[in-house]
Each structure stands twice: as structure tokens, then as C-alpha cells.
Chain A
Amino acid sequence: MAVYIKGMGAISPQKTWDDETLLSQAVGYRGNRLTCIEPDYNQWIDARTIRRMSRIIKMGVTAAFMALKEAGVERPDGIITGTGLGCLEDTGIFLMKMTESSEMALNPTPFIQSTHNTIGSQMALLLQCQQYNQTYAHESFSFESALLDASLQLEDYPDQNIVVGGVDEITEISHTVYRRFPVFRREVNNTLTLFESDEPGTIHGEGAAFFVLSGKRGEHDLARIEALTTLYKPDGHQLKTGIKKFLDDAGISPDAIDLVLVGKSGDATHDQETENTTTSFFPSSSIGLFKHLCGEYPTASAFGLWLAARMLQAHHTPDVVVYRDTGRALNNVLLYNPYFGTHHSLILLKSCRDTL
């Protein structure tokens, strides 16, 4: 698998668009919920079309348009979306109205917009893209499945440009329900200092990160995706052999990894295991963290990929990301994303600088 990132767009709880400095002014949040910093969508989407769109649709479509713009691609050859929970806002509106009105006189629009594929199909409609269109909805593997799909497609058709991304939103209802599960901390004074205390529970995040990918090397590629895998409910032994096999298959030794970008979530229940796994496998690599910036959500790995690629592009690790610095230049970055101790994904990236 050799997939080149041609362009990216991210809408996240950080200022990840119109930003030249890569997280130099990171935003901290109080509480347990991070909310996206959103652009003026009217600059990206036609007024007639935007009127029906919920926030997740606007976030996803705009992030994809940002990626297309950076890639200089007008119409992609396929659109692959990953979303763990889909269009929660419209789902919630329709469920509430249906329950309150005892199934009488319901507005169709929230129902139409409630299905997960609304985001990708709105892109197809706006871009008039009649080719491959796919939506993965498998919690924290949604984005990984989208990426794997794109890599299969690009193996057969390397010249294509495919839009791939991950997006999830928090709504009032989803946050209210989630808070009743013991997965989030009650209160954090500043999310940027999430890792300074050891408590159970993480923080609730959201975001959209989209990529234009191609199988063909170009002059302005941002980074190259080398390999990808998912590990589903592995025990301790399976996790270790899974990571080892991933590195072996990719033909890279652990000491060649310059930085591991780890999806520790601040949740003491699982973070220690994540830390042990990372440090035992990669004793000489630098370690970076990202979930204090975007929060925990099913497609947080898409934000992680965005960050890893921007870091490779800039040859720089922002201070706010650094967890352990071994002073190595960035050429090979491994994104390791564990999700609530059951779902693990690994994505290997390489720098595209000076190698053409």
C-alpha cells in the first residue's frame, strides 16, 4: 500500500483551518466536552443546499472541500466516508418528534438526513461525482475501513483521486446520554492538561478530517501512507503480536519509527496499558499525544492522521503534542489509536520530502 496524501481539511476543536502555524495556539476547554471551531460554511456551500444541512453534514462536506482545494482536484473519482455514529442531530430530532407526537404528522427532512450516508451523498450531489460512493459506520473502525477501501481502490487505479475522511458530531442528546455512562470525566479544568492527572474517564470530542488520496506520487504530496491495520478486541498477547506483525509486514523495525502519535485518551482505565505497550515497543522513538486536542470520539483517528501528516509536512512536532522527545527528525510516524481498550488501529506514515 502506497497512498499519497494530496490535500487535507480538518474542522476540529482546534483552529485547524486557515492556520499557518500548526497548533501554535492550542485551545483548552473546561468541562468534559470539546466543540469544533467552525468556519463560515456559506463560503463553501451554496445557500440553497446548506439550508437543510445539519452540523455534521456541513462539517464533513466543508472539510472535504478544503482537502480538494489543497489538492487542486475539482471532482474526485470516489468518495468514502467514515462515521461512527452518523447524523445524530437529525436522528435525535426525528426520534423526539416521533415520540412526543405519538407518530403523527412528522416532518420528513430530519428522517431523510438521518442516515449515515447523507454526508457522502451530499458531497456527490454538490460535486456531481457519479462514481464510487461508500459510507462506513463501524464505531472507531469507521475511518480505518474507509482508508483500507481507498487503498484497495488505488492499488487497482493509482491515478485516481479519492476523497476519504472521518466525521462525528456531539449533540445535546448524545452528550446527555453519554454522560450517564462512566466513560467521561465529570469535570476537567483545562483539557490541555488532561494527561497531568490520573483519573478514570475521558473527554467527549468531535470533528471532521478529510483527505484527498492518490496512488501516484506527485510534487506536492503532504505525506505517504505506508500501511494500516485494525486489531479487534485483542488480549494482551494478541495486541503485541498484532503490532509486531504489522511492523514486519510493513518492513520496518520499531527503532526506525521516529515518532509514535498515540491516542491516549486521559482515561486511567486504559492509558497505563497503552503507555506500557508504546514504550516497550518503541523505546527510542519520540511520543506525541493528540486526544487532549480533539477529545475522544469514534473517528478521532482521522484527526490523528491529519495531525501526523501536517507534522511530516512541516517537519515539526508542535509543543502541545510532544509527550516524550528523543530529538529525532520526522521521517516515519506511526499513528497508534486505541479506543476504550477494545479497538486498536495502526497507521504508518512516511515523509514525502526530498524523496521524489
Chain B
Amino acid sequence: MEKLIADLKKQIVEALNLKHLKPEDIGDDEPLFVEGLGLDSIDALELIVLLQQQYNIKISNPQEGPKIFKSVKTIAAYITAHQTA
């Protein structure tokens, strides 16, 4: 789980081009949207693509996004629960 969280942070910084941040600056439980990192709905779509490309997990209903993408930890938990491999 720790490695997954560290990987995710790196992937998020890269995918969303968060040049002003280092991966380790993102807290495991820090809210990603609005108040925390300040991500928006376009970022949510990018995160959906990230999960598909890197973890082969498909989220077809974007309405699920806010729950899954609350923090890096919740994303990691979702990946762990849904990874088929």
C-alpha cells in the first residue's frame, strides 16, 4: 500500500503537470479537490484515464469520481479493491 501511494503521487504530479509540487508534498489524506490541492473536474477526468492506463481499472460512471478521488489514500484503496491481476 505504501509503495502504491508513493507511485500514485508521482503519477498524479506528472499526469496533471503539477510542476509547483513535489510528490511527497501531497499528504496521504489531503483532499485533492477544491480546498486541498485545488483540482477540478478536468483533473478528475485525467485521473480516470490514469487509472485506466496505469492500473487497467475502468470507471465508467464519472459520478463515482468524487468518492474515489477524495485523497491519494482513497484512490489507493479503490485500486487495491478493484485490481484484477
Contact = CB atoms under 8 A, between A and B. Distances in A.
A105 B17 contact: no
Nearest to A106: B49
Contacts of B46: 107-109
Contact of A105 (B15, B18, B52): B52
Nearest to B52: A105
A121 to B, nearest CB: 13
A52 interface: yes
B17 to A, nearest CB: 4
B83 interface: no
A52 B53 contact: no
Contacts of A112: 42
Nearest to B51: A105
Contacts of B18: 51
A237 interface: no
Interface in A37-65: 47-48, 51-52
Q: How large is the interface on A (under 10, 10 to 19, 20 to 34, 35 or more residues)?
A: 10 to 19
Given A48-B38, A52-B42, A107 B19 contact: no
Interface in B42-57: 42, 45-46, 49, 52-53
Contact of B49 (A51, A52, A108): A108
Contacts of B77: none
Contacts of B20: 47-48, 51
B59 to A, nearest CB: 12
Interface in A183-199: none
Contacts of B19: 47, 51
Contacts of A47: 19-20
Interface of A: 47-48, 51-52, 105-109, 112
Interface of B: 15-20, 38, 42, 45-46, 49, 52-53
